[in-house]
């Protein structure tokens, strides 16, 4: 995506002066401070950082799962500060997809039922057909009725990918999507993730400590001492 096209449209996600402090004993621990970020429609953005840098905290804030201590954050053009927890949930419904490091599949649901779960909240016509279709796209057409425990780690993450895209969201957040997988399986999942993202034309915000994964994105940002720093191409290649 070129810089000029980015400037043509409003950012789908915009953060300014974002800060998060948490109480640790009797003192305040600053995890994020003065953080700024704009993500535009169709972009793929990687956020890199070492363990404990606050990547997951940031992802939680960006997705509206948590409220910042201060700063402004708009998602789909709506200021999250004006919304309570329920309001933020409604904003997410059907428009945001998630992929988690530990898959987060419900153990009592079959693969298909897991994929259909977000659609229960934001129904689309022919939900079930869509669910089957998406499971087919991730190569699990034959495993619709399997429970998570009957699937391998890679297969479970594929179910999670299908679930993330099934509502045709505008924005997908991925939190270390390969963190629990071996190298080869991880690579296949990455391929699949980017393929699906491209086909659906979705915006992707990906949190990882894996440079190989980050390199696949349009932009890479490094979380450093609570702020985001744009990484240069050579930095990522290194």
Partner 1 sequence: MTELTRTGSDGIASQGAASGVLRWVSLSWRGLRRDLRAPDVRALFVALALAVAAATMIGFFLDRLERGLERQAGQLMGGDLVLEQSEPFNESVRQELEDAGLTLSDQVDLISMVSRDGAFQPASLKVVDDRYPLYGEVRVRRGDEPEMLAHGPAPGEVWLAPRLAQILDVSMGEPVRVGEAELTVGGVIEREPDQSAGFSSFNPRLMMHIDDLETTGLVQPGSRVEFELLAAGPPEAVASLESRLEQLRRDGVEVRDVRVDRPGLGRSLERAEKYLSLSGLAAVLLAGVAVAMATRRYVDRHLDTAALLRCFGASQAQLTRLFALQLLWLALAASAVGAFLGLAGQAVLLALLTRFLSLELPPPGLLPLWLGILTALAVLVGFAGPTLLRLKRVSALKVLRRELDPLPASAWLVVAVASLVFGGLLWLYSGDLTLSFGLLGGGLVMLAVLWGLGWLMLAGVLRLVAKLPSHNEGGGSVNRQALRLGARQLARRRQASLGQMLAFSVTFAAMAMIALVRGDLLDTWQAQLPEDTPNYFAINIQPGERDAFVDTLEGAADELTSLYPMVRGRITAINGQEPREAVPAEAQGENALRRELNLTWRETVPEGNRVVEGQWFDTLESEQQAGQGWYGEVAAEGEPRVPISVEDGLAKRLGLGLGDTMSFTIGGQEITGEIASLRNLDWDSFRPNFFVIFPPDVLERFGHSYITAFYLPDEESDTLQQLVENFPGVSLLNVEAILERVRDLLAHVTRAVEFVLGFVLLAGVSVLYAALTASRPVRAHEGALLRVFGAGNRLISRTQWAEFALLGLASGLMGALLAELAAAGIYLGWLDLPPRIHWGLWLALPFGGALLIGAIGHLLSRGVRREAPVKSLGLLGET
Which positions touch partner 1 (CB under 8 A)?
56, 59-60, 63-66, 85-86, 89-96, 98, 100, 104, 106-109, 113, 117-118, 120-125, 167-168, 170, 175, 200-201
Strand 219-224 to 44-48 pairing:
parallel
Q: Which is nearer to partner 1, 92 or 222 (CB)?
A: 92
CA dihedral 57, 192, 112, 172 (to 10 degrees): 30
Q: How far is the CB of 232 from partner 1 (least distance, A)?
A: 29
Q: How far is the CB of 93 from partner 1 (least distance, A)?
A: 3
Q: Which is nearer to partner 1, 1 or 121 (CB)?
A: 121
The tokens for 13 are: 């996600």
Q: Which is nearer to partner 1, 66 or 224 (CB)?
A: 66
Q: How far is the CB of 145 from partner 1 (least distance, A)?
A: 12
Count, residues in the chain: 238
Q: Which is nearer to partner 1, 90 or 146 (CB)?
A: 90
Q: How far is the CB of 238 from partner 1 (least distance, A)?
A: 29
Residue listed under structure tokens 């089957």: 132
Q: How many helices (H) and strands (E) does the chain have?
A: 9, 10
178: left (phi over 0), alpha (psi -120 to 50) or beta: alpha
Q: List, as one string, the DSSP characters of 39-58.
A: E-TT-EEEEE--TTSSHHHH
Q: How far is the CB of 189 from partner 1 (least distance, A)?
A: 18
Run of H or E including 91: helix 85-92
Sign of CA dihedral 178, 167, 73, 3: positive
Q: Which is nearer to partner 1, 3 or 125 (CB)?
A: 125
Contact between residue 53 and residue 223 where contact means Cβ atoms under 8 Å apart? yes
Task: Classify residue 237 by its DSSP letter.
Answer: H
Q: How far is the CB of 113 from partner 1 (least distance, A)?
A: 8
């Amino acid at each position: 995506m070129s810089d000029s096209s980015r400037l043509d449209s409003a950012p789908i996600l915009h953060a300014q002066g974002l800060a998060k402090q948490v109480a640790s004993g009797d003192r305040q621990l600053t995890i994020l401070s003065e953080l700024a970020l704009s993500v535009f429609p169709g972009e793929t953005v990687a956020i890199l950082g070492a363990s404990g840098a606050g990547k997951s905290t940031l992802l939680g804030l960006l997705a509206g799962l948590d409220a910042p201590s201060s700063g402004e954050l708009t998602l789909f053009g709506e200021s999250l500060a004006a919304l309570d927890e329920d309001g933020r949930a409604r904003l997410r419904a059907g428009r945001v997809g998630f992929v988690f490091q530990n898959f987060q599949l419900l153990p009592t649901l079959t693969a298909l039922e897991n994929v259909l779960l977000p659609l229960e909240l934001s129904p689309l016509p022919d939900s079930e057909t869509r669910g089957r279709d998406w499971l087919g796209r991730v190569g699990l057409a034959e495993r619709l009725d399997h429970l998570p425990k009957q699937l391998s780690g890679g297969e479970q993450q594929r179910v999670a990918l299908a679930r993330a895209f099934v509502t045709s969201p505008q924005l997908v957040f991925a939190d270390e999507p390969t963190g629990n997988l071996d190298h080869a399986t991880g690579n296949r999942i990455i391929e699949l993730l980017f393929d699906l993202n491209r086909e659906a034309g979705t915006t992707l915000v990906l949190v990882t400590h894996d440079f190989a994964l980050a390199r696949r994105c349009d932009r890479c940002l490094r979380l450093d001492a609570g702020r985001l720093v744009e990484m240069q191409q050579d930095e990522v290649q290194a």
